[in-house]
Structure 1
Amino acid sequence: MTLEEFLKHTAARKPLCGPEIGEFMNRMSDEARRITCQLNGSYHTPDEIRELLAQLTGQPIPATVRLFPPIYADFGKNIHLGEDVFINDCCHFQDHGGITLGDGCQIGHGVVFATLNHGLAPQDRKTTYPAPIVLGRNVWVGANATILQGVTIGDNAVVAAGAVVTKDVAANTVVGGVPARLIHVIETDDETQSK
């Protein structure tokens, strides 16, 4: 299996099972762990961090991206970062299903992005099901929040610290709790000017 074939498979949200997919996932996980161990193992300048992130993701990283290691990823090649993204330390990226962080996103300490879920029935428990996580522009995710598979978070939204986000979040809102629920609607400049 090639990376392109795997990414097409996960984009179609097909189950991840069978020896060919398992072998590919193991190989990619080993590569991701090698790169993250290098990234997390000693001090690196911001440019060196971006270079290691480029190796991890397999794509160029904008010069405006900032990351405070350590970072953990079990795949790496399905992480997409916009301009001016900040990722604080100890974040976990389970990115098989795809993780996109839009321009200006701010990610707090210890945030977990989980794009895979296991089958619920015992006989299906070893099969995983991918779905992407997409954050719009200027999303702020507080420390120790967890974003689950298939969730889209709209522009300018805020996820409170410790929240578990299981459903889509509308733009310009604040959510928090377990599971996360609407706490506040953010008044934008456009709305203020129209009143």
Structure 2
Amino acid sequence: METLLEKIKKVNEILKDDELFKEIHIAKGENEKLIAEMNNGYKTNEEKLKYLEKITGKSINKSVTVSLPFQTDFGKHISFGKNIFVNKEAIFVDLGGITIEDDVLIGPKVSLLTVNHILEPSKRRGLATGEIIIKKNAWIGAGSTVLAGVTIGENSVVAANSTVTKNVPNNVIVAGTPAKIIKKL
């Protein structure tokens, strides 16, 4: 049976009356309670990871640390590697898929956005998606936004408050809006 993510990756647009759109909202609704519970009160990292395993439907390595509050609109399409740190107030809009490889650092108030609305006015309530991949040992600085379809290269750094609209190669620092290479590492 085809997963929801596989179905989403096969289409360019998900229109508001599409059956796929309804399926997305059912799954989204199922996770909202878990996300609210996870963010309510103090939790040990072990407790947070148990919630995240329920939210994502995947096993998460004990070396992953996620600070609360943590928000995701969907949750099922997030994959965590090992030795990852996600700081407070991160927002993962993950319908299009978010893959975070090993040793990644994600600063506070970072937004990973795999969904966008369609530009054409008659389709504006529909969705377009694109997977975000954050490669090994990358660092996403505080307040940065990474948009749909972007890959952040291995060892690369996104400077604080940057907006990443295009793929970032390995071993560079990018900064600004839109983010541009400012230094090679």
| TM-score, normalised by the number of residues in structure 2 | 0.95
Per-residue Cα deviation, 1:8-50 (whole angstroms, up to 9, x for no partner): 1222243222342222222222222211101100111111111
Counterpart AA for 1:34: K
Give the Å deviation of 1:5. Answer: 3.6
Deviations 1:27-82 (A, max 9, x none): 22222221110110011111111100101100000010001011111110100000
Matched, 1:89 2:78: no
Would you say 1:142 and 2:141 are equivalent positions?
Answer: yes
Runs of 4+ in 1 over 4 A off after TM superposition: none
Letter in 2 for 1:122: P
Instruction: Give % identity.
Output: 35
SS in 1 for 2:39: helix
CA contact (8 A) 1:108 1:141 kept: yes
Identify the structure with the greater helix proportion: 1
Aligned residue type for 1:82: G
Q: CA RMSD in A?
A: 1.2
1:27-106 mapped onto 2 (5 Å cutoff):
27-106=26-105
- Counterpart Cα distance in 2 of 1:182 and 1:137: 18
- Tell me, in whole angstroms, the C-alpha distance in 2 between the residues paired with 1:13 and 1:114: 18
Cα distance in 2, alignment partners of residues 83 and 128 from structure 1: 31
Please give the alpha-carbon distance, in whole angstroms, between the structure 1 residues aligned to 2:9 and 2:120. Answer: 23
Structure 1: tracts of 5 or more residues without a match:
187-195
SS in 1 for 2:52: helix
Q: What is the one-letter code of the residue matched to 1:49?
A: K
Q: How many angstroms apart in 2 are the aligned matches of 1:81 and 1:145?
A: 19
In the aligned structure 2, how far is the partner of 1:134 from the partner of 1:26?
24
- C-alpha displacement at 1:117, in angstroms? 1.4
Instruction: Output the amino acid matched with 1:110.
Output: K
How far off its partner does 1:85 sit?
Answer: 0.5
AA of the residue aligned to 1:155 = E
Higher deviation after alignment, 118-127 or 156-165: 118-127
Match of 2:108 in 1: 109
Structure 1 counterpart of 2:130: 131
Structure 2 unmatched ranges of 5 or more? none
Cα deviation for residue 91 of structure 1 reads 0.6
1:121 & 1:77 partners in 2: Cα distance? 28
Once residues 164 and 10 of structure 2 are traced to their aligned partners in structure 1, the CA distance between those partners, rounded to angstroms, is 22
The alignment partner of 2:14 has SS state of coil
The equivalent residue for 1:15 is 13
Partners of 1:127 and 1:118 lie apart in 2 by: 6
Q: Are the aligned partners of 1:159 and 1:176 in contact in 2 as well (CA < 8 Å)?
A: yes
Shift of 1:100: 0.6
Output the CA distance in 2 between the equivalents of 1:47 and 1:5: 28
Structure with higher Rg: it is 1
Q: CA separation in 1, counterparts of 2:104 and 2:117?
A: 28
